[in-house]
Structure 1
Amino acid sequence: MPISLDLLFTLKETQLQHGLRAENYARYHQYLSNRVATLRRQLKLSNDKKKFLHREVTATNATDARHLVLLALYAERCWAEAESILETIATVKRQETAGASKGNAPAGGIPPKEQYRKRLNKAVVWAQKLSDVSAAVADPRTQIEAKGYSFEAVGRCALSHGRFADARDAFKQARDFYITLQPQSNESQWPIVMAKVGELDDRVVYCMECLGEDPMSYRPTQHGGVAAQFAVTVKWNRRNLNIFNVKVKDTLREVQQSEWAAVKQRALEAAAGPIPIGTQAKVLEVLDRTMGLYNDALSHARTDLRSASDSQRQEQQLLVHYLTYHVALLSLERTKFMLEVFERRYRSTVDALRSTAGGVKGAKGVKDFPLSQYASPLEVIRLCDAGLETVAEMCLLPGVGGNDEVESWEQALTSTKLYYSAEANRVAGDRSVASTQYAKAKSILTSSSSVEGLARRVDEGLLSLSAENALQSFQQNATPGAKFLVDSLDTPAVASAVTKFPPDYQAVPCKPVFVDIAATYVDYPGTANAAPPPEAKKNASAHQDPQQAGAPEGDQGAQGKKWGWGWGWGKK
């Protein structure tokens, strides 16, 4: 019974699970070495400890799919080692360019460049052996996959030696083998085959560019009624466009891997209130990066359009229109995200101002809403104008004007602009203009439900405006005095002879302070030169010592100095 092996799926799964998802060829080579040793031991192809026995997989002893897997892993191991050596060469060159020492360079032996080519030559030998053994023992699908894999190995080897013409022909032959697998492939196998075909087309175009040939002239033939899908196919105006430029294809592949829509959705659903600045910056970074990729692809497509022949000009022009539309579409998505950001800020600003003015605690998070993030309706209006300009540019492209989706975008932006214009006029006091704008926004939203929640906010604005108009008219028509409205059936009336309670506040003085302004001008007598009273003189003479009464001042001073050191006697 022929051996059946899904070669492409097995190799692709092995590569993605063991290092090549991150382009780690050293890790992939290490895994292949361990896996080969395990398979040799399981298939009893390992050598004895004391004697070498040459055991290899041949058409006579290949009875299991693991024999074919072993040959494929031999080729993959050589290719992985070659790529690892190439990375080492690139690292050494970068270090030399930066002025670092050449300590990592091998001292003698085969140069790294020759080692790289030597391993690729060995990979070709193993891939050719896999093809020969498969032709003898495998089923037709496995034989085709093995032949395509062998030609792919030959192309890689020729490319390393600089033989671009041989590499181009080998890659074309490998592609022809892979494309014939379509009738024998199911829904899970065919995408892997087409991914491999796309890789080979990129290599063919690269070889043509190195040879100085026109890549636009590469048109693979059809095989078995299967269309040549060698390029990334996009749909524009009910027409499939094939992209031949490698740079455009690589850029669009990166765009497909971008998750800007998921990042934007998570940011909007994370919080019901204002979006944090860090989250906003992250979303804008992803959107700007994706838009940069589209702009790069558009520049390459315009370059191809200038050099395209007359037969290819129409297709290239449609491709430019396709990329221009997606650049404008992504710009519109960015504007819509910023609209949502500033709408939330404006609603939080209104809540914060109401809670501050009324002295009532606002909603959760309103108290901590920073002043730097306050937003006005004018900022939202400017974003709506930018979005409408983007939609107008999109409508200039053929086939875009009159599209239902584009018209819904235009209606949503117009109604949003009218609503916030009415809000701005209502705050400024121009209620007549605000009422007209509210009515226009409501009429647009009645015919289109493109904006969720905006119709409810328009109704709330109309009610608030009607209430303000009624209150203003009542205040203008009211007579002076304390009058209050009372309900009299269906007609409101003004009550009379009603005493207001509590009474109004009145200004009264509290704790008056009296100041004598003449006190600063009164000259009071001093006490420095005042004479002592007579009674003080009599007391002083009565208590004086009789022996010292007639003594001169000098003796009294000497006696004071003599005993001045003890117990404080003689102090003056």
Structure 2
Amino acid sequence: MCVDVIRQGDRRHYRRRDVTATHLTANNAENRLLCVPLLQAERAWAHAMQLRQEANTEPRKKFHLTSRLRKAHAHAQTLLQLCELEAGAYAAWLHGVLLVELQQWRAAAESLQRARLIEELKPSLRYCAYNIGDESAAGDLVAMRGQGLIENLDSLMAQAKESRSGVMHEVEWRGRRVTVRPEKVRLFLIALQDYDKSVASAPHVQAKIDILENILMDCKDAISVIKDEIKNDPKLKAASETQTSGINHLLSYLLYLRLVRTIERNNLLVQQAEEAQATNGNIDGKKVRPHDLTRLYEIILQNYTELQQLPGFEADAPYQKEIELQMKAYRAFRCYYIAQVLTSLRRFREALAMLERASNYATDSIKSKLDDKQLTDKLQVLKKDIESCKFEVHADSVLEDDDDEETSYKERKHKDKKPLVDRLDEYREDSQVLTKNPNIYKMPPSMEAIPCKPLFFDLACNFIEFPNLDDKTGAADAKKQGAGLTGLVKGFLGWGGSAK
């Protein structure tokens, strides 16, 4: 759009003509001319960013990358000459990006400081400070990584540290040295030292959790690299089956690091939940319950179970003993919170049993003298909480028995409708006696059975008409037979003859 204003030669020849202050002060000057150096700088910078991604697989493109950044800086300087006040930060920023690529850290920091009005420059400034030797910048860089402000931080910091302190070629764990060959694993182990310092200096619990989440992601990638290397190499695969190869020991070490950092993360989640429970606060809009803490301790115990099953350490007695001592301590916490759950369900006998078991676990763990002083202090506090909780559960149990008796008495009182005359020997607060229809005596009285006297039956017998039972007893047939025999005798003797 501006080419028509500034002719770049004639029809036959090209002659480059840059935008100068004269073009901006002419009578027919247009502000659109400022877009020419700006777009040229942006184009060169965008091309450099593309080359940076391609340089991961084609290292020779790194020289082209540096050349494009130089070009972007030159166009930014042209823009700075045209509008010094407005383009000062932009030109300083591009100059700082070029110096970072050239690894001129102090000069890069000075250029980026001049352009600090742009918030996105803070990661680059801290990275320059880290490379100059400011170890405090490592924590800021890790925190920015958690916010998504810096990509590929692990490799950048590891490469910088490697250049200052030498290359990590091997690692020693549980009395055995193992060579670290995969570059990604080596860079992770170098960066892990800065991670631990960042976790220790994090301002609050959530920041520590975020840093540990990043550690776990990087550790997972390193484990995948080792597994892929074992899978793709037949010799390593055959050696791994014997559980004696160095790369298998390195894999166990990385798995150990992942599980240990997972336990640290879960302990921070427990700490966060306990603080919220103590202040009646919420986490993600939900109130913390004993069920949540029980679940977290169950996860921690599951992590320790996985530590016991690490390849090559199933028969290592000292290692298994260390893990078992840790598990016994965390079982005490789990039993304590299970007892709280049972108390809320009013299952007091089971709650007392779990508290007793938690007390035994805590006592045994304290006697074993754990290496973790913080865990030992928590067990001391837990033991006091268990004792107080026992008294509370016992008191709740007694009160529940009294409530049951009172409830059953009230229910019996409401269900029993005896009149007052039938319960004179029983004290009862019956408000119905004071009403208009008191339950004192039942009127009319109910019928009662009384014993009968023999005289009553003697008198009644005279007035009773009994039914005729001749047909059933055979008396009627006997009468008929008697009449027939008498008539026969009378006829033979001539008695009873009819008079003629």
User: Which band: TM-score by shorter chain?
Assistant: 0.3 to 0.5
TM-score when normalising by structure 1: 0.38
RCO higher in structure (CA 8 A, sep ≥6): 1
Larger radius of gyration: 2
Instruction: Name whichever structure is richer in helix by fraction.
Output: 2
